[in-house]
A and B are shown apart, each in its own frame.
Chain A
Amino acid sequence: MQNVAMNGDQAIALAWKQIDPDVVAAYPITPQTIIVEAFSEFVADGLVNTEYVCAESEHSAMSLCIGASAAGARVATATASAGLAFMWETLYIASSMRLPIVMAVANRALSGPINIHCDHSDAMGARDSGWIQLFGENVQEAYDDSLMAFRIAEHMDIRLPIMTCLDGFIVTHSLERLETLPDDVVKKFVGEFKWKRSLLDIKNPTTMGPFDWTDYYFEHKYQQAEAMKRVPAVVKSVSEEFARLSGRKYDLIEPYKLDDADYALVAMGSTAGTLKEVVDGLRAEGKKVGSLKLRLFRPFPAEELAKTLEGLKGVAVLDRALSIGAAGPIFPELRSALFEAPKRPRITNYIYGLGGRDIKPEELRTVYDQLMHNQGETVNYLGVRA
């Protein structure tokens, strides 16, 4: 175990270095650039055996990943924002082909206007694509998620691609303390890559990516949905194994001081960290509040959320993305999860932090205040000059 100071991007590059994937194909985009640059240095110094391909676009980067994964290689890549948007169609293709590609997404706002800072709109735009989506809070989680991601995606009952999300700039570029695992521990944890069918298995020629008429497409999609259902159990078991190695225990959702809470805020990413500070401050004042960090967004852990949040008086869902014309993306899914709870809380939505707009503890306090006084609209905007 080593204690180092790194930013989120460097931590991911380090995780990849320790895992030494067969192929990395990527295209640089702020704020993911440090991942590919740091990894390039490992390649240049012969510290990895990875076949490293500098793609000429993100669409081609994901296409390269699809080809490599289909050919029986362990594949990693990273992108953000417009890059994720550019590869959008290939995301659906990768998941339909059941390719366990691991991708780090440095969450950044989608254009326009063009903005390089943090919000979750990029990953949210891909939430229907059939990828597993994990959101990390800080540099430690960026590192740990990158290690666990391979085990989750590659599990023989799963075989789905996974994106590990981290907040652009806030986590990608901030130096934080990181506990790393030794190389041999990582190698043993991640294990050898096992392919199910490979294009390079020339004795068993496989046709991949066929055409479906109306008579088969629906069944093929249903298979993907069934595979997604098996993900939460795998995430839990992988997390347990990881906890034994690292001492850090992760879960699909992480409640903070919720046991006797009346009011809670729910968030993903770095804001979940800020929330813990706000909760501590309010608790010191005797307020019965808590928070919940949502780590697994796809598949959506409806059951766990319902069990944890039912019985509370009020819940505010913080969304760092907006489906314009509706609400934030987490809000309707969470509300729906609690719809049939015998004692369901009042649930409201707070859109915040778009385009990297900073979110301050005082602002989060006001949300708790609104909850405690039964105020606020169903959908609110936090921190915008309106």
Chain B
Amino acid sequence: MLGIDTKIKRGSGELAILALLNQEPLHGYEISKRIAQVTGGVLQFNLASLYPLLYRMEKRGWVKGKWEEAKSGRKRRYYHLTRNGKKQLAPLRQEWGLFFQALHRIAGVAHAG
């Protein structure tokens, strides 16, 4: 059974990854770097937390990894958002919006959305 902390981290990570890949395909390291950059380091995913999440999302058919040549010339596994993944974005955004609204109501935690 997953702890609530793990669930929250996994859930937020899924939304963050889907939102990033909705802009462009990225490989794992770029995803973790971009998440840290965009969130000012609040959300951080390292190798151990990122890849199980990506593999889980891939199994669900939300993302699809393809080996492609990076700018550096090295082959990297780029993750592409699938049509199914795109469809998850809106409900996930809504879910998290509601979650933060609820937290705001109960504990005065303001949400950015």
Please determine whether chains A and B interact with each other in the same assembly: no
Q: Residues on A close to B: CB < 8 A?
A: none
